[in-house]
Amino acid sequence: MIPALEVTNLAKRFGGLPATRDVSLRVMPGERRLIIGPNGAGKTTLFNLITGELTADAGSVRLFGAELLRLSPPARAHLGLARTYQILTLFPRETLLHNVVLALLGLRRDRWDAWGTLARRSELREAARLALDRVGLGGSAARLVAETSYGERRRLELAMALSQHPRVLMLDEPLAGLSQEERHAIRDLLDTIPRDVTIVMIEHDMDVALEFAERITLLHYGEVIVEGTRAEVTSDPRTREVYLGH
Amino acid sequence: MSGPLRGLLALALLAGLPWLLPGDFYVNLASQVLIYALFAIGLNLLVGYGGLTSLGHAAYFGVSAYACAWLTTQAGLGPAAAAAGALALGTATAGVFGVLALRASGLGFLMITLALGQIVWGMAYRWVALTGGDNGIRLADRPVVLGLDATTPIGFYYLAAGVFAIAFYTIRRTALSPFGACLRGSRDQPRRMAALGHNVWLLRWLAFVMSGFWGSAAGLLYLYYHKFVSPQVLALQQSAEGLLMVILGGASTLTGPVVGAVVITLVKNLASSYVDRWYALLGVIFIVAVVFMPRGMVPGVAGLWARRRAPQS
Amino acid sequence: MQFYVIQTLNSLALGGVLFLLSSGFSLIFGLQRIPNLAHGALFMLGAYIGTSLISRGVDFWAAAVLSGIAVGLLGAALERLILRRLAGNEQGQVLVTLGVAFIIADVCLMVWTGDPIPVPAPDGLRRPIFAYGLAFPTYRLVVVGVAVVMAVLLFLLIERTRLGAMIRAGVDDMEMARGVGIRVSRLFSITFFFGVALAGAAGVVAGPIFSAYPGLDADMLPLALVVVILGGVGSLLGAFVGSFVVGFVYNFGTALLPDLAYVILFLPMVLALVFKPEGLFGRARP
């Protein structure tokens, strides 16, 4: 079976500083992969290399066999890669509905239509409303992002990514800054995502994320230290070493 | 008041204005306002909706005016062909300059557009064989367009009003279209838009070209109005005035630039009767607008209006 | 032969003037992220102030320094009173400098009227030097010398002094610089003063070559912009090399193909933008 995401010998330096060193990993279709590591381990850099926002110095990234390295971020999105951001990057002056509409338009031909009226595209608005419903924000569709709570915004991030029906969904700390209750709500939401979406997640929060993960990759100083099932990684002495220093 | 009704009212006002004004001088003034309003709403596509501040927009205004003047006087083309050629050349210039300017964004973009605009201005001054240099190029007559005789003040007013109305309608449709929404999105969160699959460069370049097209149209009207073009139209002051109209009126709105154009054109005409130094005044208005009214007049007034209707919030 | 020698010297002199003008611009832009669009106008103002001082008997070089200081103080006032209010609003700051440029240009027109005012070269430098059967315009040689001296002084300032270290830190990473205790707002005022004073003094130094005339600002600003686009923002070396490249291209262009001089100016800029948008020496900014 072709891996959903295959990273081979990926490397990136910033000036003299190696941020990503010879990272290889393989995520199978439908898998729920968690990437952990202390601050500065290079998790977000790895994400940015996979999504194309950073250009790698060496190595390759394959999405269902297709080589991504020469492709721009938009091109990768068109191949089925979606991501959410650690620091929210929403459109604050727009409604929640509009935010999702922009996400939907990203993959549609009629995003180039400069004559028709967007507000009349009822089928598009319906699809956006459905995406919001899925994350429990259906009733807030007409509200401005600026008027929503942090927890609602995190869910909007998710709705935007899911609305594109991606093949691989990359979540960068989707639980950051949320209350315990909200974290569980998001976790339940993630559980409802069907297996035709492969999920790769970066997280710090150990309880909730750990429950969710099937396989875990531990990064430290830009390198893969341990990789395996949840049980394997949590019991591995190297994991403790990375986090506790001994 | 509903949208279509507002539009009809505006159209009626536009059509009836010459009959409400007390003389040819005012009709001509209104025509000038329309020319600059056209320039401003076109520029707004780039500045307000695209989020790309250009200080070189006079280039398309001027290239179009010069091209039409040259094609009419030197190449002997008829008005339709000359106008078409002028629009084509102005828009093509925008296409090329857009590619160059979009190698950067933000301040870099601003500087490149400024430099490009200045270079075209310098060319107009120095390439005397082509442009007549300081002497400019004179047009014998305004054209007759579709039966409308533009040689009279009222005739020209209707030509300008017609072009403006078409432009406003088209730009409004663009703003409300999927393309317009994506353009605004790329202004607010370019990185996010790219990750969502949008081609941000192409969105911006198309906005640049559209903006250049309308700037060219305004330049054409300018030439017909004055029957004369000189390097002044390409000067930095021209680009700055246009930008000020957009910013003063409100860059994120459709009507803001129109309001800005009205205010600046009227102040400019009024001021020149009392004050010798218009550019110093322009500079002062710039500083005042940027420091005290960064979002422009239309959003400011709209905000006041909204607060009046919902006093507790 | 004489023609090429003269044109080469003129190009070098122009390059020297451009360096004096654009190094200040590049410094301010590099540190404060403000492209000071009033730079050309301040250059012109310096030239005009210089003419007034010289006509009152002030020595040429003293006039250059005094003009520089006067213009620098004006710039510092602008920075403290207006630009600082707009901190964080980069676009607003640029537009304000544009407004100031317009105001200064008109004020100069009001005070010194529209006729060009020639600036006499300092005594003793007016007669050409004769060597190898050719006549070298002495003053232009001196201008090149001044530019080189200034370049060396600036280099030493930036690379060897504490102030320079602070400037370099600020250019590299503003937040970090603040974090290590650098008084950023004071640094801004000092650099703005320096950068603008340099432009003002340059106006006087360039006086014997250009004179002081209305429109000098509009002529100089695009040249400075092209230099900075070519040489990279915040790079002293870039400003140095870029100035001489532009000096040669513009000067020889104007001499050989006067109609197309500006088109020729286009070319290096376009090439730079296509192949290296961050300039020859600048670092790509995110």
Distance between CA atoms of residues A245 and A229, nearest Å: 22
Helix, strand, coil fractions of chain C, as percent rounded to 5: 75, 5, 20
Q: What is the pLDDT of residues C136-178, one digit of tens each?
A: 778 888 888 999 999 999 888 888 887 888 877 777 777 777 7
Q: What is the pLDDT of residues B125-166, one digit of tens each?
A: 888 888 888 888 888 888 887 778 888 889 999 999 999 999
Q: Which of C35, C107, C218 sits opposite B107 (nearest CB)?
A: C35
Over 90: is that where the pLDDT of B303 sits? no
CB–CB of B279 and C266 under 8 A?
Answer: no
Over 80: is that where the pLDDT of B175 sits? yes
- C chain contacts of residue B100, beta-carbon cutoff 8 Å: 270, 273-274
| Weakest mean pLDDT among A158-172, B75-89, C78-92, C175-189 | C175-189
Q: Which residues of C139-163 are buried (b: 16+ CB within 10 A; e: fewer)?
A: bbbbbbebbeebbeebeeebeeeee
Helix (H, G, I), strand (E, B) or coil at C284: coil
pLDDT band for position B270 (cuts 50, 70, 90): confident
Q: Please answer whether residues B131 and B66 qualify as being in contact, where contact means their C-beta atoms are separated by less than 8 angstroms.
A: yes
Pull the structure tokens for residue C104: 């200064």
CB–CB of C106 and B290 under 8 A?
Answer: no
B126 at C interface, C-beta within 8 A: yes
Identify the CA nearest to B295 among candidates B269, B259, B264. B259
Q: Of all helices (H) and strands (E), which one includes residue A7?
A: strand A5-14
Mean pLDDT score of chain C = 85
Mean pLDDT score of chain B = 89
B131 min Cα distance to partner chain C (Å)? 10
Q: Which of B100, B129, B284 sits opposite C103 (nearest CB)?
A: B284
Residue-by-residue DSSP string for B145-196: ETTEETTSHHHHHHHHHHHHHHHHHHHHHHHHSHHHHHHHHHHH-HHHHHHT
CB–CB of B196 and A164 under 8 A?
Answer: yes
CB–CB of B181 and A121 under 8 A?
Answer: no
Interface test with A, best of B196, B199, B209 (most A CBs within 10 A): B196
- B chain contacts of residue C99, beta-carbon cutoff 8 Å: 282-287, 290
Q: Of all helices (H) and strands (E), which one includes residue A229?
A: strand A223-229
Q: Please answer whether residues C230 and C246 qualify as being in contact, where contact means their C-beta atoms are separated by less than 8 angstroms.
A: yes
Over 90: is that where the pLDDT of C254 sits? no
The pLDDT of residue B241: 92
Q: Please answer whether residues A42 and A222 qualify as being in contact, where contact means their C-beta atoms are separated by less than 8 angstroms.
A: yes
The residue of chain B with its CA nearest to that of A116 is: B177
Q: What is the pLDDT of residues B29-51, one digit of tens each?
A: 999 999 999 999 999 999 999 99
The pLDDT of residue B68: 94
Q: What is the pLDDT of residues B177-200, one digit of tens each?
A: 999 999 999 999 999 999 999 999
Over 70: is that where the pLDDT of B311 sits? no
pLDDT band for position B2 (cuts 50, 70, 90): low
- B chain contacts of residue A101, beta-carbon cutoff 8 Å: 181
Over 50: is that where the pLDDT of C46 sits? yes
- How does strand B137-138 pair with strand A81-84? unpaired
The pLDDT of residue C280: 60
pLDDT in tens, chain A (246 residues): 899 999 999 999 887 788 888 899 999 999 999 998 888 788 989 999 999 999 999 999 999 999 998 899 999 999 999 999 988 889 988 999 999 999 999 999 999 999 999 999 999 999 999 999 999 998 889 999 999 999 999 999 999 999 999 999 999 999 888 888 888 888 899 999 999 999 999 987 677 788 888 999 998 888 888 899 988 888 888 888 887 765
Over 50: is that where the pLDDT of C284 sits? no
The pLDDT of residue A6: 94
CB–CB of C100 and B283 under 8 A?
Answer: yes
| Sequence letter at residue C59 | D
